[in-house]
Amino acid sequence: MAAMLRLLRSAGPPMLFRFSLYGFLKNLRFFDAFLVLALRERGLDFLAIGTLVAIREVTVLVLEVPSGALADALGRKRCMVASMVGYIASGLLLGLSSNVWLLGLAMVAYGFGDAFRSGTHKAMILAWLRQQGRLDERTRIYGYTRSWSQFGSAISALAGGGLLLAGTGYRSMFLASSFVATLNLINLATYPNELDGARPAKGQMIGGTYRQLMATIRSVVRQGSLRTLLISGVAVRSGYKVAKDYLQPVLQALALSVPLALDWEPEQRIGVIVGVVSAALFLLSSYASRQAHRYERHYGDPDRGARALILQHAVAFAVLGAALALGLVWPAIALFIVLAIGQNLWRPVQVGRLGLAGPEDQIATVLSIESQMAAFFAACMAPAVGWLVDLVADGRTPVPLTALAPVALLGLPLLVGLGRMRPPSPGRVTP
């Protein structure tokens, strides 16, 4: 950990270090690369797991826009601290309980954490960039901080695999994640107050929050270009939010089929394979985030770059479905990695586009609306795809690779996003 902190300090100005530290600690959720496998160990089928995912996403759906408006109206630091409290509670419940109702409550706490942090921290970064006169660096800076999030995910996957290898089981991952969330709560609570943004006077907080929310919704409804940005963002994010967890049973199938350490317990072999492959995926994603500004510059126009990424995602989902249907494990893993890299090119480009198109004092709420819309479609798709996987698997455990082919249906929203984005006219460059 000390070596990681020294490396993070090379990020540059103190706040850039703090932003990067937040992302690094946030993604030290040691169970992320193993969540589906941990729930399967407790006897849950894919429909039940999809329902738990839907509970998490519905919680985000309900809280996302109010949380963004609260962040803009009441103070972003408070909302970020509340987010960490949600993650702490979620990790404790997931680690200590097998009761399905308590697991559902854990997902509510998880969704609460996601809702209160998603657009809020990005708004704090954008506020800092404006204060520093560096707003033109928004894609590069956000890509840099996001790369540290992905680096944290890589370390998290390796550490989670190490816990399985040591024989501590899946539960220890959840409890360790709660401890890290506590460290991040301390980091966020000590952010400078000037990143909170303008806040209404006492007694006007509820009214200020409501007015903030209504003003942002009016901006989205009236501004066609902003609506298109939101729809394209939802198309890219929603399917992947559900699809990424299906990499875990693919890696489980690989771990149980390769002649690796045959004297080990299956759980230990799964820990090594899932940990190593997931860590490689997140390291590649970290690199992709850092290169997002170069990707954007390559196309000469953020909209052209965004359209290319949507098309690439759609093709990757289609080919992934074919690979799973044919039982081709290595191509399927490679395509999951391609999708992850695409996501980490997309987010810095998309945040930069929204930062330009959205009103300055409503940016957290605009980002929250995007996350809310993505949560809605993810909540609809997760149980449906889980049910289809169970139907094809017909009770077989571990689930055969061919039964995962319905995951390709999660790419369908991309066709809507692609249809909404007309190719920019030649020579046009977005300011």
Average pLDDT value for residue range 9-16: 64
Reported as a single tens digit per residue, the pLDDT across 265-287 is 888 888 889 999 988 888 888 78
Residue scoring higher pLDDT (270 or 322): 322
- The H-assigned helical ranges of 244-362 are 247-257, 266-290, 292-299, 302-325, 329-357
Residue scoring higher pLDDT (317 or 138): 317
Reported as a single tens digit per residue, the pLDDT across 281-307 is 888 887 887 787 788 788 777 778 888
Count the neighbouring beta carbons within 10 Å of the beta carbon of residue 402: 13
Long-range contacts of 96-103 (CB under 8 A, 24+ apart): 96/171, 96/174, 96/175, 98/42, 100/44, 100/48, 103/39, 103/42, 103/52
Those residues with Cβ within 8 angstroms of residue 97's Cβ, 6 or more apart along the chain or in another chain: 103, 106
The pLDDT score that the predictor gives to residue 214 is: 66
Average pLDDT value for residue range 182-193: 92
Helix (H, G, I), strand (E, B) or coil at 154: helix
Give the separation between CA 317 and CA 298, rounded to whole angstroms.
24
Reported as a single tens digit per residue, the pLDDT across 368-395 is 677 778 888 888 999 999 999 999 998 8
Going from the C-alpha of 41 to that of each of 30, 38, 103, the distances in angstroms are 16, 5, 14
Give the separation between CA 379 and CA 59, rounded to whole angstroms.
9
Say yes or no to pLDDT of 426 above 90. no
Amino acid identity at 118: S
The pLDDT score that the predictor gives to residue 11 is: 47
Least confident of 1-5, 345-349, 399-403, 416-420: 1-5
Residues 183 and 28 sit within 8 Å (Cβ to Cβ): no
User: Closest Cα partner for 111 from 400, 379, 313?
Assistant: 379
User: Closest Cα partner for 196 from 70, 93, 294, 111?
Assistant: 70
- Residue 175: pLDDT band (50, 70, 90) is very high
Cβ-based burial of 397 (10 A; exposed 0-12, middle 13-18, buried ≥19): exposed
Say yes or no to pLDDT of 117 above 50. yes
Domain at 14-194+201-420, CATH homologous superfamily? MFS general substrate transporter like domains (1.20.1250.20)
Reported as a single tens digit per residue, the pLDDT across 158-172 is 999 999 988 888 999
Residues 22 and 267 sit within 8 Å (Cβ to Cβ): no
The structural domains of the chain, with segments of one domain joined by +, span 14-194+201-420
